[in-house]
Amino acid sequence: MFLNEFKYFILSTLREKMLIRWLILFPMLLGTMFKLTMSGLSEKEFNFRAIPTAVVLENDDGIFRDVIKQVSEGDDPLLKVTYADSEEAEKLLKDGEVEGIITSGDTVSLTVAGSDMEETVLKAFTDRYLTQEKLIKDAAEKDPASLPALTESLTEELDVLEEKSVTEGVNDRYIIYYYNLLAMVAVCSSVTGLSVVTQNEADQSPLGARKCCSPTPKLISTLAVMLGCWAVGAFCMVTSVTFLAFVLRVGFGSRLGYVYAGGILGSIMGSSLGFMIASLVRGSYEKKNAVAMTVSLGGSFLSGLMVGNIKPILMEKAPIVNTLNPPAVICDCFYYLNIDSGLDRYLGKMAEMLAMTVVFTMIGFVFTRRRKYASL
């Protein structure tokens, strides 16, 4: 009886077009769009490594010349410098050969033609030089050996491309978008969890009423459908992760196994959340579905899946929301996998997800124990 229920639930659910659309095709499509968009960004950043810049020396400022020399040499230079007079420099800028002109006269000034990332970096560099000019000149006079370190500090935080490998995480700052996508797939599994109630309760559907007339105990059919939901959620998650990792070649690195594990547990938690919601919310399937979608998408919003700075705000103002918000827990799990060299915090979040799954499932079972109905 259990296997019969389990088998046909999975078969019927996997044939549901809505499920295929939202839990399999939608993540694939969104992942592909991410890939296309982020490939462009990476390419742009690669070109950004050494910013073509014209330098005009109107006076003989040796210290400025030294600073420019230091930031334009080495393995990973900030600037690709072309020395020119004002006229030539303006022509280079006009022709697009350089992104900006740094002029050293009475003071150091910057001329740019646009407002892209490169221009912003040049502006930040010149601003910082002007701020620290006196300090640099003093150091050059009193302690010339400290000049390289000071120059380094001018560029240290400007070189946004130069990722410092402080952990053993994947260290691709765009991979977090894929993790967010997987977190969304996981919470959307709550929709499948609704079936546990709507297909087993006599007052929810003709199918539920019909099943309640059979000699299959309600506990068995509920359990079978619950496990079926978990299996379907896990299948959708595995499909999504596999597509991202092997078709789009998203670099999950050596942590792919952990991504699968986190995703599967996340989707199981999502299904259990749906089960709990369906058991608590009285009324039609549409009403339950609306509540499940509100909770899932609302939780996703609060966890920063849609607007990035919501989560830090909540962390400061109401940290309990992040602790209790299932999508936030899934996101954190992936986030820690991304940035931590160890697995402690990742495993901590996995344990949290497991605990939430148990609580959601238990609440679901408690509220679906009814055997007779006052009305159908």
Q: Which residues bind other proteins (CB under 8 A)?
A: 1, 4-5, 8, 11-13, 15-16, 202, 205-207, 209-218, 371-376
C-alpha Rg value of the chain to the nearest Å: 29
| DSSP annotation string for 286-323 | HHHHHHHHHHHHHHHHHTTSSSTTHHHHHHHH-HHHHH
- If phi > 0 it is left, if psi is from -120 to 50 it is alpha, else beta; for residue 74 that is left
**CB-count exposure of residue 11 (10 Å: 0-12, 13-18, 19+):** exposed
State which amino acid sits at residue 271.
Answer: S
Q: How far is the CB of 27 from other proteins (least distance, A)?
A: 21
Q: Which is nearer to other proteins, 35 or 218 (CB)?
A: 218
Query: Between 150 and 207, whose beta carbon lies closer to other proteins?
Result: 207
Q: Which is nearer to other proteins, 4 or 341 (CB)?
A: 4
Q: Is 49 helix (H, G, I), strand (E, B) or coil?
A: coil
Q: What pairs with residue 269 in β-bridges?
A: none
Which residues lie below 8 Å from residue 342, measured CB to CB, with a gap of 6+?
A: 168
Tokens in use for 212? 């309640």
Residue number, 60 or 286, with CB nearest to other proteins: 286
Q: Which is nearer to other proteins, 219 or 324 (CB)?
A: 219
Least CB distance to other proteins at residue 229 (A): 15
Token couple for 320:
């309990």
DSSP string across 178-223: HHHHHHHHHHHTHHHHHHHHHTT-TTT-HHHHHHHTSSS-HHHHHH
**Is 218 or 288 the residue whose CB approaches other proteins more closely?**
218
Q: Which is nearer to other proteins, 132 or 205 (CB)?
A: 205
* Least gap, CB of 14 to other proteins (angstroms): 8
| Of residues 125, 95, 132, the one with CA closest to residue 110 | 125
Closer to other proteins by Cβ: residue 11 or 318: 11
Closest distance of CB 6 from other proteins, Å: 11
Residue 13, φ and ψ in degrees, nearest 5: -70, -40
Q: How far is the CB of 218 from other proteins (least distance, A)?
A: 8
> Least distance in Å: CB of 204 to other proteins?
12
Measured from the CB atom, the residue of 56 and 212 that comes closer to other proteins is 212
CB of 372 to other proteins, least distance (A): 4
Q: Which of 180, 192, 173, 185 is nearest to 302 (CA)?
A: 180
**Minimum CB–partner distance for residue 236 and other proteins (Å):** 16
- Residue 51 to residue 216: CA distance in whole angstroms: 72
Tokens of 375: 């009305």
Q: How far is the CB of 308 from other proteins (least distance, A)?
A: 38
